[in-house]
Amino acid sequence: DQQVKQNSPSLSVQEGRISILNCDYTNSMFDYFLWYKKYPAEGPTFLISISSIKDKNEDGRFTVFLNKSAKHLSLHIVPSQPGDSAVYFCAASAGNQGGKLIFGQGTELSVKP
């Protein structure tokens, strides 16, 4: 049973516009959520995270929103740039399970000039 789901395998956005990537989870014990960016044949790079005690965290062009009641989080990138084109993975962890990261399937973002 997949505990972290990213239902959109791909997203295409025009440069300068907002990119919104979505993620749903099922395990109510998750208390920490992260977004990673990954290029082919490379390891994931950490982007931004949010603790379950918050509903929003912002870092430059990246903002993560958490809706605990809906078990949903989203990553907003604004303005989107061509260099943002990559696969974005949502991940979650539960402190009482040792903090192991559980990943979604990823969403491939393409930002067109």
Partner 1 sequence: EADIYQTPRYLVIGTGKKITLECSQTMGHDKMYWYQQDPGMELHLIHYSYGVNSTEKGDLSSESTVSRIRTEHFPLTLESARPSHTSQYLCASSSQNLNTEAFFGQGTRLTVV
Under the binding rule (CB under 8 A), the answer on residue 60 touching partner 1 is no
Under the binding rule (CB under 8 A), the answer on residue 11 touching partner 1 is no
Q: Closer to partner 1 at the Cβ: 74 or 79?
A: 74
Q: Specify whether the CB–CB gap between 76 and 52 falls below 8 A.
A: no
Q: 23's torsion region: left (phi>0), alpha (psi -120 to 50) or beta?
A: beta
The two tokens of residue 33 are: 């959520």
Establish how many alpha carbons lie within 13 A of residue 71's alpha carbon, considering only the half-sphere containing its beta carbon. Answer: 12
Among 31, 71, 74, 110, binds partner 1 (CB under 8 A): 31
Binding segment for partner 1 (CB under 8 A), chosen from 21-29, 55-63, 66-74, 100-108, is 100-108
Under the binding rule (CB under 8 A), the answer on residue 23 touching partner 1 is no
